[in-house]
Amino acid sequence: MDVDTLIDQSLQDAVAVISANPCPSRLAEALRYTVFPGGARVRPKLVLAVASACSDTLPVLAPSAAVAVEFLHCASLVQDDLRCFDDAQTRRGKPSVHVAFDERLAILASDALIVAAFDAVAANSLADAQRRLNMTCMLSRQVGAVHGITAGQAWECEEVIDTDAYHRAKTGSLFAAATQAGAVAAGADMTPWARTGECIGAAYQIADDLHDVLGCESQIGKPVNVDATHGRPNAVAELGAAAAVSKLKGLIEEVIDTIPDCKNAERFVKTVRHEADRFFPKEIARSAA
């Protein structure tokens, strides 16, 4: 089974579990609407790529981890789009969840996805108990209030924003969760993989900033110029487009430098370069130059 199919099938199965009878029907619909169709599924792919780089000997846990990370990502998007945060009308090329349903169902869908992320990992009784516990704890740290996504979103509520902490928490933490989850699934030491995930997150953030300034809504499936509208930090606004592109290129090399010793490191390097080209197409680089 190729990676895209494995991810889609794992997500389909997991959504079927959480939207099964007697789940109230509108919540079940909202859950399906939130998870499908997906975006690029960058984070679950990263989980599987790291597990494979570490020559996963227990591949049963990696797909659960991929589901968990994607569920947490989807939950954060639903919340980002709420009226009290970005008030975004579209996401992944269709009305955002609170527009298609309502605010209540958007909040409940995000709750359900957060809870289901932990369940996906902890309840996988075929996998090693210690790996499941380690992964549960790591995930809770990476989405929590201190360093995690919740902290990232909460920086937007502060009068003075610590830009580094903001980006690291809002974007970097879930990428670090993805790389660490892949390592834990494979029974490898997750500690050195955090840095790789954070660098990927930082690169992704700059690419996202470039898309926000230089992209168009029909192409990226969500509104553009959101950072300027909300007075948020944006690398293009801070550095200019050309310097942002050069910083992005530097970060991709840094990602590769940080990859810990692992059996299939070369294949992982290839995947990183391939995904970087795919997510950051040459047209954007040209228009930035």
Residue 136 touching a second copy (CB under 8 A):
yes
Query: Helix 173-185 and helix 42-53: axis angle, to 10°?
Result: 40
Segment 180-239, which members bind a second copy (CB under 8 A)? none
C-beta separation of 96 from 90 below 8 A: yes
Min dist CB 61 to a second copy, Å, is: 13
With 0-12 CB in 10 A as exposed, 13-18 as middle and 19+ as buried, what is 282?
Answer: exposed
CA torsion angle 68 24 77 60 (round to 10)? 10
C-beta separation of 258 from 199 below 8 A: yes
DSSP 56-111: -S-TTHHHHHHHHHHHHHHHHHHHHHSTTTT--SEETTEE-HHHHS-HHHHHHHHH
Whose Cβ is closer to a second copy: residue 129's or residue 243's?
Answer: 129
Near a second copy by CB under 8 A: residue from 105, 184, 186, 245: 105
Strand, coil or helix: what is 289? coil
Near a second copy by CB under 8 A: residue from 108, 199, 200, 206: 108
Near a second copy by CB under 8 A: residue from 111, 239, 279, 285: 111
State the sign of the Cα–Cα–Cα–Cα dihedral 173, 179, 185, 189.
Answer: negative
Segment interacting with a second copy, rule: CB under 8 A, options 59-67, 112-120, 201-209, 262-270 = 112-120
Min dist CB 87 to a second copy, Å, is: 11
- The most distant pair of C-alpha atoms in the chain lies apart, rounded to whole Å, by 55
Beta-sheet pairing, 90-91 with 94-95: antiparallel
Segment 157-176, which members bind a second copy (CB under 8 A)? 157-158, 162, 165
Report how far residue 97's alpha carbon sits from residue 193's, in angstroms, rounded to the nearest whole number. Answer: 33
Near a second copy by CB under 8 A: residue from 1, 60, 145, 228: 145
Residue 126 touching a second copy (CB under 8 A):
no
Near a second copy by CB under 8 A: residue from 32, 39, 85, 279: 85
Whose Cβ is closer to a second copy: residue 230's or residue 270's?
Answer: 230
Segment 14-73, which members bind a second copy (CB under 8 A)? 17-28, 31
Whose Cβ is closer to a second copy: residue 49's or residue 61's?
Answer: 61
Segment interacting with a second copy, rule: CB under 8 A, options 4-12, 156-164, 180-188, 263-271 = 156-164
Which residues of the chain form contacts with a second copy (CB under 8 A)?
Answer: 17-28, 31, 79, 82, 84-85, 102-105, 107-108, 110-112, 114-116, 118-119, 122-123, 129-130, 132-133, 136-137, 140-141, 143-148, 150-151, 153-158, 162, 165
